[in-house]
Structure 1
Amino acid sequence: MPEVSVDQIRERLQMFEARRKHYEWKSENTEGKLRRHEMWRHEYLADPYLTGAPDERVAERFKNIFMNVMELNQEGKLGPLMAFESDDGFMRKFTHMLEAYNGAIPTEIVQEARTPFAKYFENDGPIAKRMFDGYEKPTGPILVKYGRREFLEEMLQHGRMRIAHAKLYHNDDFLDSVKDDETSRYFFIPTYRERLKGEFGMEFQGHWIEYGNDDIAIPVVFPDYFVISLCDHIYYRMPTDFDADAALIIREPARFTQRVISQFLAQWPEWEPSAAPITYYDPYRDYSKIKAPEMCKHFGYSYQREFRIAFRSKQRIQTELEPRFISIDTMADYADLVTV
């Protein structure tokens, strides 16, 4: 990645400083009544954390945010995610990006961000619209497993499930929405202030870290584990994302989760289970969010709203893991299978 020079940092900060003062003047002269987006703009200008990041990383961040501010509704139409009152996190990030780009996001980056949405309208439109047409959604809590019909039918009738290990998903042959490095997480610490002072490295735990003209990248690497991924509701982008022609709607999430955990531990008691919604973290903002790394993912995947059942070993893993199979008996009395 091309690096950001000290001169570029200095030039950017001069622009940010002028705009920051503008919003502070406006706040003082309007009795503090800045609009929400103006408060977010001032927030970024007071701490422009992306100032020293390489352009490619900033562009990738914008594309990740764009993926999460758009939603596909049950009519098969794409539009802005409207739940801003209850969750404005991504609009806040989006506004930060506008300031990082000085109000004008390059056209080619916007086009690249839009491109992945075209897949939802291939082959006669969103597959989810056909899949869920006529299905009466449960009113209570549910879990949804998207996949191929032949596997979900077996899961429904016999409770037979394949449980993959996390490293399996680090595969370039997988779809972008599925592929992920599930055994490492990266965080970035901004260094633009230090670089302005002529500092390009730091001592950390007795070691000298040279960061040069970039931010500090901190990897969190952890052992392989087993994982079952579901969604916490019906979302119309998911069938396309997971190349699914069917969905299993589980109407009793607690019952399902308990059965999965008990059956797994009955065969492999040396593993420790976790079951919860995924925590999505921002690599530039959420340094303290990772408590259990196997239950966290990059915020770029937030739109998937994953609920995860994971098993991590209580002992050191000595060999490469392979997928395992369990059977939790029929699910026909508490799950529905919908297909295209």
Structure 2
Amino acid sequence: MNDVMTRSEYWRLSYRRDRYLEFLSQDELEKRACDIMGNMTFLSGKGQIGLRAFSEGGAYWMPLWAHVLEEFALRYGPYPNGFTNGFVKGTALVKPSHPDEPLAKKAIDSIGGIRPGRLYKFGKKEHLEPMLKRGRIRIAPASYYSDPSLNPAIKDEELSFSIKIRPRDVKAEDMNGEEIPTFGNVEVSFESKTNYYVSCFAANYTYREFDDFEADSCIVINEPREFTKRLLSRVRRIKPDFRGFASHVDYIDPLNHFSGEINVFLAKHFRYAYQNEYRFLWVPDKPLMELDPFFVEIGDMSQYAEILSI
């Protein structure tokens, strides 16, 4: 008799001991399933959809997927019970090109393939060519990204972030000090006291970004330190009352955040983790909510950057 437990069985058993998805609605649970699928899959060099290896992010995403399946099973029975038809519509899934090689692979291979330490800016050639030749960059306020007309991969609420705390972790009292029973998750929101400027780049190249951002071109920044120095220096002259810095984005699971405060300037929902965002930010010395986009020119970038098109 084989008593060895598979990874999936272990993950499901662990979930039953801590059923953190219990209070999600069916729609919310399906949305979480989509968020996880969008990150646990990738586009291979052959144009096929694959699952991330354990050593390349799978160790994080696969248990979460097992937890979702177990919650559905506990509510509705074995898979696919509970999943509505077409629930993945609109999910940020990779788009296969097989049997053709991804155009993104052909493009990056033309300059020697993917190398660590680069930054990438995806967009339309008509906008990226002036950026390469003159260093012309549009910098928008964070509030701009809540515009509903934006591409779903770009649209987000950048001035606030919400997490959900389980009832067992919340203690509520009335004016007399009597404990108030809590039912369902308690939502806690963190909000920025000010608008700020942001410019977004990718810190990795994964063959899917051209589709995600509806782009036909990409600027590859081979020397991020030089670019960072020039960009922060130039904006400092134009906006001396703003403090500029750059950092990787912190992707947060709103149902499993246990470290207290959240830096709203760098926090994004974990559904966007596949984007590998690296952002430049400028925060005003005094709170300001009304900000207008502006352009900055940092000079010819061709000595440390190049453009790819598909």
Quickly name the TM-score band, shorter chain normalised.
Answer: 0.7 to 0.9
Matched-pair contact (CA < 8 Å) for 2:124–2:217: yes
Return the TM-score normalized by structure 2.
Answer: 0.86
CA separation of 1:52 and 1:108: change in aligned 2, threshold 3 A = closer
SS in structure 2 at match of 1:315: coil
- The aligned runs of 1:1-340 (5 Å cut-off) are 34-82=5-53, 84-87=54-57, 88-102=59-73, 103-106=78-81, 108-109=83-84, 111-113=86-88, 116=91, 120=95, 127-129=103-105, 131-132=107-108, 134-137=110-113, 139-191=115-167, 202-203=172-173, 213-222=183-192, 223-288=194-259, 291-317=262-288, 319-340=289-310
Secondary structure at the aligned position of 1:294 is classed as coil
Deviation of 1:55 after TM superposition, in Å, equals 1.8
Deviations 1:39-95 (A, max 9, x none): 32232111101112222211111111111111012332211122x125311112111
Task: Please give the secondary structure, in 2, of the residue aligned with 1:51.
Answer: coil
CA distance 1:257–1:95, change in 2 (3 Å):
same
Give the whole-Å Cα distance in 1 for the aligned partners of 2:121 and 2:43: 18
Provide, for residues 203-251 of structure 1, a one-character-per-residue CA deviation record: whole Å limited to 9, x for no partner. Answer: 4999999997531111111122111111112121111111111000000
Distance 1:136 1:110, change over 3 A: farther
Alpha-carbon distance change, 64 to 246 in structure 1, aligned in 2, over 3 angstroms = same
Q: 8 Å contact 2:120–2:202 — kept in the other structure?
A: yes
Cα 1:320–1:161 shift into 2, 3 Å: same
3-state secondary structure, aligned to 1:120: coil
Quick one: structure 1 residues 338 and 57, their matched pair in 2 at CA, closer, same or farther if it must change by over 3 Å? same
Contact preservation (8 Å) 2:38, 2:93: no
Q: What code does the residue aligned with 1:336 have?
A: E
Amino acid at match of 1:275: A
3-state SS of 1:113 partner? coil
Q: Could you tell me how far apart the structure 2 residues matched to 1:316 and 1:300 are? A: 29
Retained in 1: the 8 A contact 2:45–2:105?
A: yes
Unaligned runs of 5+ in 1: 1-28
Separation (CA, whole Å) in 2 of partners of 1:207 and 1:322: 47
Secondary structure at 2:95 match in 1: helix
SS in 2 for 1:259: helix
The whole-number CA distance in structure 2 between the counterparts of 1:116 and 1:211 is: 36
Instruction: Please tell me the root mean square deviation across aligned C-alpha atoms, in Å.
Output: 3.2
Query: Counterpart of 1:56 in structure 2: which amino acid?
Result: D
Aligned residues of 1:127 and 1:240 also touching (Cα < 8 A): no
Matched letter for residue 154 of structure 1? P
**8 Å Cα contact 1:66-1:113 kept in structure 2:** no
CA distance in 2, matches of 1:100, 1:172: 31
Q: Distance in 2 between matches of 1:282 and 1:141?
A: 26
TM-score (norm 1): 0.79
Q: How many residues align?
A: 302
Offset of residue 38 of structure 1: 3.3
For residues 278 and 65 of structure 1, do their structure 2 counterparts lie closer, same or farther at Cα, with a shift above 3 Å needed?
A: same
1:176 to partner: Cα distance: 1.1
Partner Cα distance (1:229, 1:94) in 2: 28
User: How far apart are 1:161 and its partner, in Å?
Assistant: 0.5
CA contact (8 A) 2:43 2:96 kept: no
Q: Which has the higher helix share?
A: 1
- Asked if the contact 2:143–2:195 (Cα under 8 Å) also holds between the matched residues in 1, the reply is yes
Q: Note the C-alpha offset of 1:142.
A: 0.3
Aligned identity (percent) is 28
Cα-to-partner distance string for 1:156-203 (whole Å, 9 max, x where unaligned) = 111110011111110111111111111111101122x59xxxx9x934
Secondary structure in structure 2 of the residue aligned to 1:112: coil
Amino acid across the alignment from 1:245: D
Name the SS of the counterpart of 2:55 in structure 1.
coil
Q: Could you say if the C-alpha distance between residues 176 and 40 of structure 1 is closer, same or farther in structure 2, counting changes exceeding 3 Å? A: same
